[in-house]
């Protein structure tokens, strides 16, 4: 057997930055009217995927797939949509005066709208998923699969972490493990 047909490794990394000046945040009903709240978002996302395919023999193989992902989003410059169809971009919204108090932003009152609060939309989301598959073809067309799946997910309303540090926090999250056994048998007629 040629070695590169026996073992296959792959690794992919990705990094993405997203900024949007009109990211939807919330809808408030004030004085009987819907108030659509938007904000500027600065979001950073980092992901990595690792895969191993190992063919021990033509009948026995082992496969591993692991993927980690983290995204951190920070909101600022809160605004209320006032004239969504205005020809001039700057006329479509009005900036809000906000103060962060704990886990909420306090929005200052103006002559038309009373004071109100909105949840802090900042976030950190991390996830790791993996699976390990053992396959044995114990007779032609008949196979046994033993599978272990592992998943860890964490999220919180906080954007103080750097995206690479957020992935490391998954070590503190309890995993969700799934074990499966699947048996295929070929009946020849």
**Structural domain contains residue 80:** yes
The domain in which residue 82 lies consists of: 3-184
Q: Give the pTM.
A: 0.77
**pLDDT tens across 101-115, in order?**
888 888 876 656 667
Question: In sequence order, what are the residues at sequence separation of 6 or more whose Cβ sits closer than 8 angstroms to the Cβ of residue 83?
Answer: 91, 92, 93
Residue 189 lies in a domain: no
Taking only the tens place, the pLDDT of each residue in 20-54 is 998 999 888 877 888 899 999 999 999 999 999 99
| Domain assignment present for 167 | yes
Indicate whether 144 pLDDT > 60. Answer: yes
Residue 2 vs residue 45, higher pLDDT: 45
Rounded alpha-carbon distances, angstroms, from residue 39 to 20, 48, 96, 107, 152: 8, 29, 10, 13, 30
Q: Which residues, at least 6 apart from 33, have a Cβ–Cβ distance to it below 8 Å?
A: none
Please identify which residue in the block is written with the tokens 């699947």.
182
**Which tops the pLDDT comparison, 158 or 50?**
50
**Lookup result for tokens 């006032």:** 82
- Kindly give, in sequence order, each residue whose CB lies less than 8 Å from that of residue 50, ignoring residues fewer than 6 positions away: 10, 11, 64, 65, 66, 67
Give residue 1's pLDDT band: very low, low, confident or very high (50, 70, 90): very low
Q: Which of 13-22, 56-65, 154-163, 169-178 has the lowest mean pLDDT?
A: 154-163
State how many domains the chain has. 1
The answer to whether residue 139 sits within a structural domain is yes
Q: Tell me if 95 is assigned to some domain.
A: yes
Backbone angles phi, psi at 187, to 5 degrees: -95, 120
| 27-53 burial: b if 16+ Cβ within 10 Å, else e | ebeeeeeebbbbbebebbbbbbeeeee
CA 20 from centre of chain: 18
Q: Which of 112-116, 164-168, 174-178 has the weakest average pLDDT?
A: 112-116
Residue 114 is predicted with a pLDDT of: 61
Q: Is the pLDDT of residue 2 over 70?
A: no
Mean pLDDT for the stretch of residues 125-153? 94
49, 170 contact by CB (below 8 A): no
């Amino acid at each position: 057997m040629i070695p590169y047909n026996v073992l296959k490794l792959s690794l992919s990394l990705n990094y993405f930055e997203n900024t949007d000046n009109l990211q939807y945040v919330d809808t408030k009903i004030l004085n009987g009217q819907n108030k659509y709240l938007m904000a500027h978002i600065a979001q950073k996302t980092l992901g990595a995927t690792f895969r191993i395919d190992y063919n021990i023999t033509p009948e026995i193989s082992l496969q591993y797939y692991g993927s980690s992902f983290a995204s951190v989003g920070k909101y600022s410059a809160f605004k209320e949509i006032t004239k969504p169809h205005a020809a001039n971009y700057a006329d479509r919204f009005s900036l809000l005066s906000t103060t962060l108090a704990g886990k909420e932003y306090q929005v200052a009152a103006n002559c038309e709208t009373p004071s109100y609060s909105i949840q802090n939309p900042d976030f950190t989301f991390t996830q790791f998923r993996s699976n390990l598959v053992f396959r044995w073809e114990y007779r032609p067309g008949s196979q046994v699969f033993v599978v272990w799946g592992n998943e860890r997910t964490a999220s919180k309303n906080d954007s103080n972490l750097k995206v690479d540090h957020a992935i490391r926090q998954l070590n503190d999250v309890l995993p969700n493990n799934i074990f499966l056994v699947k048996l295929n048998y070929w009946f020849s007629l």
